[in-house]
C-alpha cells in the first residue's frame, strides 16, 4: 500500500518502529482531517491548477494569435470540459475579454456562462478583470469608413457605415489602442447633452441625437464587450439632455436626473440594464440642468453649472435633500471626476472636496504645458486620466496620480498613435 510522508523518513522494518510510525501517521491524518485536506488532494489541486493555467494560456494563444490549429484547440476544449464546472469557470475567467465572444461560440454551456453578468462580477471580485479607458470621439473632416466584422450582428449591421463618432479603447497597462466596432449609424453623441456609463461588461449611451439633425431621441444604445455587438435597449420614458447620470455601486442601477425637458427639469429615473427596464422615481426639489452625477456610498449626488446648492438622492429611502453651498456656481461639472471615494475638480490645478467640512481644498498643480481641461476625464486604478489642451492648443492625454499623502501629482503625458482621432467627447472607465 502506497504511503505518503512528510520529510525524509526511512522505512523501518522493526515492529516497534512500525507502531511508532503508525502513530505519527494517525496524528498527521487527524490534522489533515481538521484542515479538510490531504497530500493526495493537495497534489490533485496543484496539478489542476497547473493544467488550468496551461489550458488558459493555450486558449489565449489560439483565440488571439491562432497559434493552435483546430484539432489542437478541440483537444484543449475537450480537456477543459473534463474538469468540474467550477474549475472550467475559473479557467474561462482568466481568458482575455477580447476572446470572450469566441468562447461564447464554443458550446451552449460556455455561452450561458460568459454571457451572464455574474461572470464579469466574478472577474472583478477575483481580480481577473482588465481595466480599460473608453473614449467617445467625434469624427471631423469627412466621414471615416469602418468595415464591420463578422461577429457584429443585430439591428445596426451593415457592410459599411459612416458614423459621426467612434469608440476608442485604451489599455494603459500595455499602452495599446484599438477601435471598438463602429458606432451605430444614424445617431450622434453630444458632449454636453449625451451621457455614457459602464456597468459590468457593457457601455450604455443615453441622450443621443439624430445624426443629421438637432432632433433628440429616446434611444438607448448598449455596446456589449462579451459579444462585440451593439444592441438597442428600451427607450427612455422621457427624453433628457444635459442631465446627470451615474451607476450605483450597490445594485448596478443607472440613475438619471435633471436636464432639459419640456415637462420640467426635476425628472428622476433609473435603468436596469440587465432587465432592460426603466422606473420613474420621485422628482428633485429644484430645476437642475447642465449637470453631472456621481455616487458616494448609497447616495446619488447631482451638481450643476448654474447652482451652488446640489441635490442628493438617498436610494434606500428614495428621498431628495439639498446640500447648500457645496458647488461653485460657474464651475464646469464635466471637469469633475469621482474616484477612490473622493471628488476632484480640475481647473487651474487640482481641488478635492472635503465631505466633512463642505469645502474644496487644493491638492495639486498642472504642469507648465497644461493650459486647461477640455472634456474632463475618468478614474483608472489609483490614477486619473485627464483630457486637456496644451500651450500649443493641441489636445493631450495625461495621467495624474493620487499619493498616500493626499497630494495629486502630474505623472506623465500619454502618447497616442497618429491615427487616433482628436475631439474627445467623453472618457469612461470600463472593467471587463
Q: Which residue has the cell 485604451?
A: 170
Residues 78 and 203 placed together within one structural domain of the fold: no
CA separation for the pair 293, 306 (Å, rounded)? 14
411: helix, strand or coil: strand
Residue 22 forms part of a structural domain? no
Contact 28, 4 (CB under 8 A): no
Contact 421, 168 (CB under 8 A): yes
Find all residues with CB under 8 Å of 107, minimum gap 6, and list them.
77, 81
CA separation for the pair 157, 362 (Å, rounded)? 48
Residue 83 Cα to chain centre, angstroms: 30
Residue 24 forms part of a structural domain? no
Residues 150 and 223 placed together within one structural domain of the fold: yes
Tell me which residue range forms the domain holding 363. Answer: 131-431
311: helix, strand or coil: strand
Residue 71 forms part of a structural domain? yes
Residues 114 and 262 placed together within one structural domain of the fold: no
Tally DSSP H helices, then E strands, for the chain: 7, 28
pLDDT in tens, 397-428: 999 999 988 999 999 999 888 777 668 889 99
Strand order in the sheet with 229-233: 195-199, 202-206, 220-224, 229-233
Given its phi and psi angles, is residue 142 left (phi above 0), alpha (psi -120 to 50 degrees) or beta? left
pLDDT in tens, 246-269: 999 988 999 999 988 766 578 899
CA separation for the pair 188, 218 (Å, rounded)? 12
The residue among 359, 346, 356 whose CA lies nearest residue 402 is 346
Per-range mean pLDDT, top range of 21-30, 209-218, 354-363, 364-373: 354-363
How many domains are contained in the chain?
A: 2
Whole-angstrom Cα Rg for the chain: 27
Residues 183 and 88 placed together within one structural domain of the fold: no
Residues 101 and 138 placed together within one structural domain of the fold: no
Residue 250 Cα to chain centre, angstroms: 15
Residues 348 and 369 placed together within one structural domain of the fold: yes
User: Can you read off the three cell numbers belonging to residue 45?
Assistant: 489541486
CA separation for the pair 259, 168 (Å, rounded)? 27
pTM for this prediction: 0.78
Q: What is the pLDDT of residue 144?
A: 35
Q: Name the residue with higher pLDDT: 376 or 187.
A: 187
Comparing 162-171, 223-232, 253-262, 306-315, the range with the smallest average pLDDT is: 162-171
CA 363, 368, 369, 372 dihedral sign is positive
CA separation for the pair 409, 388 (Å, rounded)? 15
Residue 135 forms part of a structural domain? yes
Amino acid at each position: 500500500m502506497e504511503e505518503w510522508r512528510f520529510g525524509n523518513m526511512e522505512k523501518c522494518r522493526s515492529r516497534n518502529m512500525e507502531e511508532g510510525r503508525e502513530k505519527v501517521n494517525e496524528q498527521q491524518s487527524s490534522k489533515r482531517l481538521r484542515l479538510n485536506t490531504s497530500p493526495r488532494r493537495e497534489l490533485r489541486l496543484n496539478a489542476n491548477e497547473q493544467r488550468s493555467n496551461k489550458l488558459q494560456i493555450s486558449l489565449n494563444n489560439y483565440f488571439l494569435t491562432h497559434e493552435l490549429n483546430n484539432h489542437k484547440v478541440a483537444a484543449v476544449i475537450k480537456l477543459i470540459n473534463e474538469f468540474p464546472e467550477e474549475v472550467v469557470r475559473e479557467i474561462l475567467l482568466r481568458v482575455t475579454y477580447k476572446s470572450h465572444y469566441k468562447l461564447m461560440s464554443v458550446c451552449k454551456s460556455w455561452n450561458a456562462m460568459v454571457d451572464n453578468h455574474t461572470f464579469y462580477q466574478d472577474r472583478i471580485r477575483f481580480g481577473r478583470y482588465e481595466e480599460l479607458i473608453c473614449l467617445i470621439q467625434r469624427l471631423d473632416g469627412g466621414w471615416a469608413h469602418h468595415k464591420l466584422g463578422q461577429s457584429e450582428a443585430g439591428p445596426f449591421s451593415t457592410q459599411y457605415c459612416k458614423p459621426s463618432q467612434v469608440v476608442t479603447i485604451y489599455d494603459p497597462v500595455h499602452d495599446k489602442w484599438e477601435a471598438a466596432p463602429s458606432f451605430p449609424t444614424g445617431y450622434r453623441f453630444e458632449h454636453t447633452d449625451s451621457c455614457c456609463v459602464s456597468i459590468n461588461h457593457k457601455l450604455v449611451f443615453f441622450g443621443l441625437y439624430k445624426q443629421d439633425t438637432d432632433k433628440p431621441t429616446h434611444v438607448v444604445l448598449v455596446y456589449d464587450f462579451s459579444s462585440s455587438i451593439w444592441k438597442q435597449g428600451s427607450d427612455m420614458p422621457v427624453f433628457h439632455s444635459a442631465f446627470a447620470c451615474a451607476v450605483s455601486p450597490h445594485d448596478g442601477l443607472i440613475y438619471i436626473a435633471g436636464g432639459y425637458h419640456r415637462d420640467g427639469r426635476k425628472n428622476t429615473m433609473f435603468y436596469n440594464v440587465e432587465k432592460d427596464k426603466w422606473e420613474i422615481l420621485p422628482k428633485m426639489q429644484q430645476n437642475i440642468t447642465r449637470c453631472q452625477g456621481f455616487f458616494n456610498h448609497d447616495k446619488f449626488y447631482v451638481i450643476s453649472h448654474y447652482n451652488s446648492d446640489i441635490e442628493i438622492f438617498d436610494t434606500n429611502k428614495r428621498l431628495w435633500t439639498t446640500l447648500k453651498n457645496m458647488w461653485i456656481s460657474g464651475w464646469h461639472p464635466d471637469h469633475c471626476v469621482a474616484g477612490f471615494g473622493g471628488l476632484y475638480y480640475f481647473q487651474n490645478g487640482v481641488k478635492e472636496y472635503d465631505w466633512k467640512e463642505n469645502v474644496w481644498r487644493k491638492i495639486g498643480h498642472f504642469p507648465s504645458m497644461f493650459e486647461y481641461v477640455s472634456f474632463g476625464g475618468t478614474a483608472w486604478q489609483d490614477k486619473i486620466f485627464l483630457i486637456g489642451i496644451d500651450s500649443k492648443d493641441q489636445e493631450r492625454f495625461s495621467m495624474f496620480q493620487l499619493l498616500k499623502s493626499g497630494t495629486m501629482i502630474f505623472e506623465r503625458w500619454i502618447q497616442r498613435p497618429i491615427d487616433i482621432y482628436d475631439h474627445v467627447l467623453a472618457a469612461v472607465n470600463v472593467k471587463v
